[in-house]
Structure 1
Amino acid sequence: MNSFFERKYIIQGVILIIALTLVARLFFLQIIDDSYLLSANNNVLRKVIEYPARGVVLDRNGEILVQNEPVYDLMVIPKEAKNIDTLLLCKLIGIDKENFIKRMKKARDHSPFRASIFEKLIPKETFAVLQEHMDKFNGFYTIDRNIRSYPDSIAAQFLGYIQEVNDKDIERSKGFYRSGDYIGASGVERSYEELLRGTRGVKNQMVDALNRPKGSFMDGKYDTLAIAGDGLISSLDKEVQLLAEKLMRNKLGSVVAIEPATGEILTYVSSPSYNPNLMVGRERGNNYMEMLYDPYKPMFNRPIQASYPPGSVFKVVAALTAQQAGVINQQTTFYCPGGYYVNGARMRCTHVDGSTGLVKSIQNSCNTYYGYVYAKMLDSRGMPSYKAYDLWRDGLTKFGLGSPLGIDLPGEKGGLLYTSDQYTKRFRSNKWRSTYNISNSIGQGEIGITPLQMANIMAIVANRGFYYRPHLIKGIGEEKIIKKEFTEKIWAGVDAKYYEPVIEGMSLAVSSGTAAASRIPGIEMCGKTGTVQNPHGENHAVFFAFAPRENPKIAIAVFIENAGYGGTWAAPIASMLIEKYIRDTVSLPKHIQDRVLNAVILPKVKTKDVKPEVKEKKDSTKNKTNTVKKATVLDKNRNNLVVHHSQVRRNYEQR
């Protein structure tokens, strides 16, 4: 009897173990291991990511600067890719069989049951042919994408470009981005990425055994819609931008124009530039490498990243801050014998001005006058010169010098503005005086400002003492929202009454001075030409202006590297752009227009700087060659092609 009960319990135990094993296996297959579920679902149900349309960018008048163009990604589920016409697929998308095998292996390694990208960014023409044969390619399907398109191919450094996300982008986004997504990499595409990108959607699509779509699952009940990104209204005037880029062709430099009353940037040119359409599509990588090694650096954003000695525009700031400090007034005069020669300091003037007052000093750009102004600011204020220098420097910072202005673009630099401690360290004593760094008086010392800061100085003068933070986007979304920081009025530290003599001098500089050839009939333009010394080659040509004198509409800075005289090259460009904006016409004599338009002003390039050593490696992709760059780095001196501020003391400066 006991033997019977023992066998009974053993049999029950075995049955129980078997039952538990089956339950555990079913639990694993149905709950933990989703491969069979995915495979089954993919036979009838496909989850297709719907990518949102990226927000468009318009100019200030509603003209399109950036829009979207449809392209397609070809996806593959390796487990389902059976009995396909391999040769036909290769022919349609332009690859060979070897490349097909490599891509399939990569997709299989990722997951046999999950979709992977097989071919990116297929143009609509190729897609139209491919779509006719999709029933021959089991396991393959396409998803809609968009790439950026630039109808006028302008404003590349302002607009920026997008690129595929990397691991760091995905990590920083806390999972928002996935592999294969795109993100703004530069320009406003980067600054306004969170607004432009939109939100992904998911579409549950029914398919048959031949991989053909059969409509939405449950009439789209479980679908989520993609939400398009917000559009942006930029402050740029497309027509003025087109003209500015045309005039700056074959020249190194910048043009920045600002509407003084709002801080909106009307024109933003970094030259040389590039066609932004080169940064989209399947050839983007090759194009990027070409531009990266271009010795003239077309991707360098000069208006906010290049730093130059300001030259003559600095005299405007010097005159204003000195009046505010009470060390000079409109009646103050100094005698100019052709240079400033005081206590061993030597600084030449371009001509003998004789007795010179404030207005005349601006009109004639008298170096001697500002040598004396600088000496009074540092040496005659009843305090050690290094302390007076701190006050002088503080006045400059209120004009936005020495730090970024806060434009809505990434990578803005603040320029250069030495502190007193830096000079004390250099001179190994705090007993230094104005003669030690007298070149600061005319903006040729340890001072570097960006073209954006130059234009902003003109906006301050046009407004008689204040500015709005320069910005490129004036409206966000349908409600045309403007960021709060761009509506704040910022005082420059100088009372309005001190601006009139400076403005009078600037008006005379255009009407009867070095910019007289660029006068605009019927528009009083107040400006200042400049020739900035450059230790690396030919001097730089500069012109800063605003117009009209009363109720100004535009403030502008034109900076051309290695061009020589500002009145010859920079002033005509500014004149044409100002008139184009105000009147939508250009009246400057045609021979001046042609001279500027056809000029090629580029420094010579050293042979070793032209291109790195390359090897060309044929890819299996049809009609495409990938250029593989060697790991060697170009000679560091090639950066000298873009002239930044030099801290080398000028040969006419003595302690």
Structure 2
Amino acid sequence: MKKRSLLFPLLVIITGFIFVARLFFLQIVHHDSNEISLSGSAIKRIYTYPERGFVYDRNGKLLVANEQTYDVKVIPNEVKAFDTIEFCSLLKIDKKYLITKLDRARNYSPWLPSVFLSQLSKEDYAYLQEKIHKYKGFSIQRKSLRKYPHKSAANILGYINEVNEYLAKKNPYYEQGELVGTQGIEKEYEDILRGTKGVSYKLRNRLNKVIGPYKEGIYDTLPQPGEDISLTIDLDLQAYGELLMSNKRGGIVAIEPNTGEILALVTAPSYDPNLMVGRERSKNSVMLFNDSINKPMLDRGLQAAYAPGSPFKLVEGLIGLQENVITPNTGFYCHHGYRYGNKATNFMGCHCGITGRAIDLRLGIAKSCNSYFSNVYKLLLEKYDTSQESLTHWAEHLRSFGLGDFLGYDLPIGTKGFIPSADYYDKVYPRKTWRYTTTISNAIGQGEIVTTPIQLANMIAAIANRGYYFTPHVLKKINGNPIDIEKFTTKKQTTIDAKNFEPVIEGMFDVYQNGTAKHVQIKDIDICGKTGTVQNYIRKNGVKYELADHSIFVAFAPKDNPKIALAIFVENGGFGSTIAAPIASLMIEKYLKGTSTSLKWWEDRIINTSLEAEYKKQLSIQLLEKSQN
């Protein structure tokens, strides 16, 4: 009986303890943990969007700024009956647009806000603000849009897009209609540039009317603006390169060898970055992306893949020296070309013009002798027991220069290029009987080898540094503080000993002194370079259509303590000495002297040279094939 009399008080005590513990959790633990249940409709979140960080070039010139704009947002379940005619008139839309956007917003979420109409002008905003209270469920949200003071570097800067439903569900930070970096540095450094949204929490009653701040606003936060960044790009050099590439297709990549900083990343044709901002953005975007002829959204400096041509002979010579199959003084004869194999048709022509005497490495580079480097390739492919083993060593040397793979630069697009491996040729030739005669085109940078302009520029930077390079990159400072990112400050060594670079560099110097670029020397600047001309044709339905060759040039300057290394590709530009070489000299003088006056005649000629006729010819061949099919 006594035990029963104690049971009831014990139950009361236990129950009381449970209630106290629960209240302690709700009032103290849960409160202090800063956790807010936002899954229901009792709390309304109102975001305040920060300004994105500004973007500057290496010299402090403003590349990207902000300007204020206004979005009309809607929460479908809060919309009440309203005068649609007046509303459409205020926003300058039709009723079909109104219905479509409301349906889309409802499908996204009946309770969450989404963008109904973006980017109101200041005038429209001022007029609408006075009447927005009449339209329940609609509100006006201020935000910043990008503004571009210059028409250059669109491919580097990228653009921002409105967050779509897919991204909003994938990443809880974003809501549909917000802005997010979509390409270029806007995408790569989104977390730095975007800042942090401010948010205020409002409490609603059972009728969904806001009745005040949630918990007196203790969880509300202010927006934190994005951080400013400075790029490694020299705006003046970038704009000058774009001018020189007018009415042409191709790319220019310039790198500072001792840092890996990208000084210019030119693609042609390009576009005005302001086209990707404002109410006309959607229409302009469709136009740019659907331009399958000019492809302005293709960054040819990073994405276009070409055979490297004669600039590849530089690394061919370096590998020959490293593998001890040649010395700087090893000589080979050229009889207007190189004959290989047993067939009479196995002949690679050469235009070096040197006969009757042996050609050494330095002269072979200066005169771009095909015979010389074909002989080097033969020795390399026959050094080890099998062609497979020999080519594996050859390919390893090439990959140490960053060829055949992504370089790790800080832009979100690119192409790997291709350096053929022994496994590749074993698959092409299953009997595995291939040898140097099968792959001899590799000797002069054609065959199966594919590179991008940035890879060739990086290769030249490694040569300028006598054996190492830094990962190319475009980020220089964050909020005025120089970056200290290990990925960009660590030397990457090639497999070539430093001593082997000197004879190759002397040969590149001779290219300007008495070789294929002597006509575009710059007074007081010692430039080392190499021309390239890559055969170009289209084979359609068994018919081979010859097109103008691609014009290529690589260079660095000055010869000692180099400040700039660059690669130029001009599609269908002809000989490397006719267009690409003058562009290289003009770019080098522009960067090192701040002006380009030594080659004024060449400058005018290059700017006024249009290759549109050649591109139309290429297009007509492609259209002919479509009509035949």
TM-score range, shorter chain: 0.7 to 0.9
Counterparts of residues 356-505 of structure 1 (less than 5 Å): 356-379=359-382, 381-505=383-507
Q: In structure 2, which of residues 128, 131, 156 is the aligned counterpart of residue 130 of structure 1?
A: 128
Residue equivalent to 2:294: 296
Q: Which of 330, 333, 336 lines up with 2:331 in the alignment?
A: 333
Q: What is the aligned partner in structure 1 of residue 198 from structure 2?
A: 201
The structural deviation recorded for 1:140 is: 3.1
| TM superposition shift of 1:81 | 5.0
SS at match of 1:447: coil
Amino acid at match of 1:457: M
State the one-letter code of the partner of 1:69. E
Report if the CA contact (8 A) 2:586-2:599 is conserved: no
Correspondence for 2:607: 597
1:609 is displaced (CA, Å) by 7.4
Q: Tell me which residue corresponds to 2:74.
A: 76
Deviation at 1:534, TM superposition (A): 1.2
Whether 2:596 is the aligned partner of 1:586: answer yes
Give the SS at the match of 2:265.
Answer: strand
Contact 1:85 1:136 in 2 (8 A): no
- In the TM superposition, residue 331 of structure 1 has moved relative to its aligned partner by 1.0
- The aligned counterpart of 1:576 is 586
Determine if contact 1:399/1:457 at 8 Å carries over to the other structure.
Answer: yes
Whether the 8 Å CA contact 1:61–1:237 is kept in 2: the answer is yes
Q: Give unmatched runs, 5+ long, in structure 2.
A: 1-36, 205-209, 539-546
Classify 1:65/1:530 alpha carbon distance in 2 versus 1 (closer, same or farther; 3 Å).
same
2-structure distance, mates of 1:335, 1:122: 73
Report the residue type matching 1:278 in the other structure: L
Residue pair 1:390, 1:419 contacting (<8 A) in 2 also: yes
Partner of 1:24: none
Q: How many residues align?
A: 570
Q: Any conservation in 2 of the 1:66–1:149 contact (CA below 8 Å)? A: yes
Matches of 2:82 and 2:259, distance apart in 1? 62
SS of the aligned residue for 2:89 comes to helix
Q: SS state of the match for residue 481, structure 2?
A: coil
Partner of 2:532: 530
* CA 205–563 in structure 1, closer or farther in 2 if over 3 Å, else same: same
Distance in 2 separating the partners of 1:189 and 1:157: 11
SS at match of 1:306: coil
- 1:543 and 2:564 equivalent? no
Relative to 1, partners in 2 of residues 1:136 and 1:317: Cα closer, same or farther, differing over 3 Å? same
What residue is the counterpart of 1:566 in the other structure? 576
3-state SS of paired residue (1:350): coil
Find the aligned partners of 1:593 and 1:497 in 2 and give their Cα distance: 37
Deviation by residue 1:544-578 (Cα, 9 ceiling, x = unmatched): 10001111100011100001011110111111111
- d(CA) in 2 for partners of 1:129 and 1:635? 54
Cα distance, 1:116 vs. partner?
4.0
Q: Quote the residue 1:67 is aligned against.
A: 65
Query: What runs of 5+ residues in structure 1 fail to find an aligned partner?
Result: 1-30, 39-45, 208-212, 611-633, 639-655
Q: Decide which moves more: 145-154 or 553-562.
A: 145-154
State how far apart, in whole Å, the 2-side matches of 1:464 and 1:112 are: 64
Q: CA deviation at 1:440?
A: 0.6
What is the one-letter code of the residue matched to 1:447? Answer: I
- Matched to 1:70, the amino acid is Q
The aligned residue for residue 176 of structure 1 is 173
SS in 2 for 1:290: helix
Deviations 1:217-236 (A, max 9, x none): 99965531112222221100
Whole-angstrom CA distance in 2 between matches of 1:135 and 1:243: 52
Q: Distance in 2 between matches of 1:352 and 1:460?
A: 30
What amino acid is aligned across from residue 375 of structure 1 in structure 2? K
In structure 2, the partner of 1:521 is 523
Per the alignment, in what secondary structure is the counterpart of residue 340 of structure 1? Answer: strand
Distance 1:530 1:113 in 2: 62
Rounded Cα–Cα distance in structure 2 between residues aligned with 1:483 and 1:636 = 53
Q: Which whole-Å CA distance do the structure 2 matches of 1:456 and 1:518 have between them?
A: 23
Aligned-partner Cα distance in 2 for 1:427–1:245: 44
What's 1:260 paired with? 257
1:382 to 1:493, Cα distance in 2 relative to 1, 3 A: closer
Superposed CA RMSD in Å reads: 2.9
* TM-score, normalised with respect to structure 2: 0.84
For 1:220 and 1:47, the matched residues in 2 are separated by 11
Distance in 2 of aligned mates of 1:466 and 1:523: 23
The question of whether the paired residues in 2 share the 8 Å contact of 1:406 and 1:412 is answered with no
User: Structure 1's 578 and 33: CA in aligned 2 closer, same or farther, altered over 3 A?
Assistant: closer
* 1:347 alignment partner in structure 2: 348
Displacement of 1:279 after TM fit?
1.6
Change (3 A) 1:98 1:456: closer
Match of 1:510 in 2: 512
TM-score normalised to structure 1 length: 0.81
CA deviation vs aligned residue, 1:383-404 (integer Å, no higher than 9, x gap): 1122111111111111111111
Q: State the shift of 1:347 in Å.
A: 0.9
Write out per-residue CA displacement over residues 272-328 of structure 1, whole angstroms, 9 at most, x where no aligned residue: 111122122232222121112211111112112111111111110011111011111
User: Does structure 1 retain, via aligned residues, the 8 Å contact 2:303–2:414?
Assistant: yes
Tell me how far 1:372 sits from its aligned partner.
0.6
- Distance in 2 separating the partners of 1:157 and 1:637: 36
Amino acid at match of 1:284: R
Give the partner amino acid of 2:178: D
Aligned-pair distance for 1:184? 1.9
- CA distance in structure 2 between the partners assigned to 1:314 and 1:115 by the alignment: 57
Please give the secondary structure, in 2, of the residue aligned with 1:371. Answer: helix
Contact kept? 1:520, 1:587, Cα under 8 Å = no
Partners of 1:237 and 1:267 within 8 A in 2: yes
- Change in Cα spacing, 1:484 to 1:214, as seen in structure 2 (3 Å) is same
Instruction: Report the Cα distance in structure 1 between the residues aligned to 2:250 and 2:429, rounded to whole angstroms.
Output: 34
d(CA) in 2 for partners of 1:186 and 1:437?
A: 38
Structure 1 vs Structure 2: percent identity of aligned residues? 44
Closer/same/farther in 2, CA of residues 32 and 238 from structure 1, 3 Å limit: closer
For 2:187, give the aligned amino acid: R
Could you tell me how far 1:194 is from its partner in structure 2? 2.1
1:369 alignment partner AA? Y
The one-letter code matched in structure 1 to 2:487 is: E
1:282 aligns with one of 262, 279, 293: 279
* 486 and 79 in structure 1: CA distance in 2 versus 1, 3 angstrom threshold: closer
